[in-house]
C-alpha cells in the first residue's frame, strides 16, 4: 500500500514538472530588424525562434558608442515583442504585437524581450 502511494505521488510530481513552462521555451517564428553597419551598408537580420522571457541584445547594434541603433522591427513570432532603445532591455520601450507587428525606421532599438 505504501509503495503505491509513493509511486502515485512521484507520478503526480512528474506530471506537474512537465506541465510547467521551462526557461528553454522560445517564441515560434522570426523577429527581423535592419541597421546600418559602420561602413554605411544597410543590413537586415532575423532572429529565428528567439528565447522567451530572456532579454536579447541585438547583434550589430549592442554598443551605443560604436553603432547606430537598429530600426524597422518586424515581429512575426507568436509572442509579443517588447523592444528597448538601450542594450540589455534598458531605456524607453515599445510593444509589437505577435504575427506581423512592425514599426517604421523612426523606432530605434537595441534589445528585445518576448513574452
| Per-residue pLDDT tens over the stretch 10-19 | 334 334 333 3
Q: Among all chains, which residue has been given the C-alpha cell 534589445?
A: 111
The whole-chain average pLDDT of the chain stands at 85
Phi, psi for residue 5 in degrees, rounded to 5: -65, -45
Burial of 49 by CB count in 10 Å (0-12 exposed, 13-18 middle, 19+ buried)?
middle
From 60, 79, 55, select the one nearest 71 (Cα to Cα): 60
Regarding pTM above 0.85, the answer is no
All cell numbers assigned to 38: 559602420
Rounded to an integer, what distance in angstroms lies between the CA atom of residue 92 and that of residue 19?
34
Amino acid at each position: 500500500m505504501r509503495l503505491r502511494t509513493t509511486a502515485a505521488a512521484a507520478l503526480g510530481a512528474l506530471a506537474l514538472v512537465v506541465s510547467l513552462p521551462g526557461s528553454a521555451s522560445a517564441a515560434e517564428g522570426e523577429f527581423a530588424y535592419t541597421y546600418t553597419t559602420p561602413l554605411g551598408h544597410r543590413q537586415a537580420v532575423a532572429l529565428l525562434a528567439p528565447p522567451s522571457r530572456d532579454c536579447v541584445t541585438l547583434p550589430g547594434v549592442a554598443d551605443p558608442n560604436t553603432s547606430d541603433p537598429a530600426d524597422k522591427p518586424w515581429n512575426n513570432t507568436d509572442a509579443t515583442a517588447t523592444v528597448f532603445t538601450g542594450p540589455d532591455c534598458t531605456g524607453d520601450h515599445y510593444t509589437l504585437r505577435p504575427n506581423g507587428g512592425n514599426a517604421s525606421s523612426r523606432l530605434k532599438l537595441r534589445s528585445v524581450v518576448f513574452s
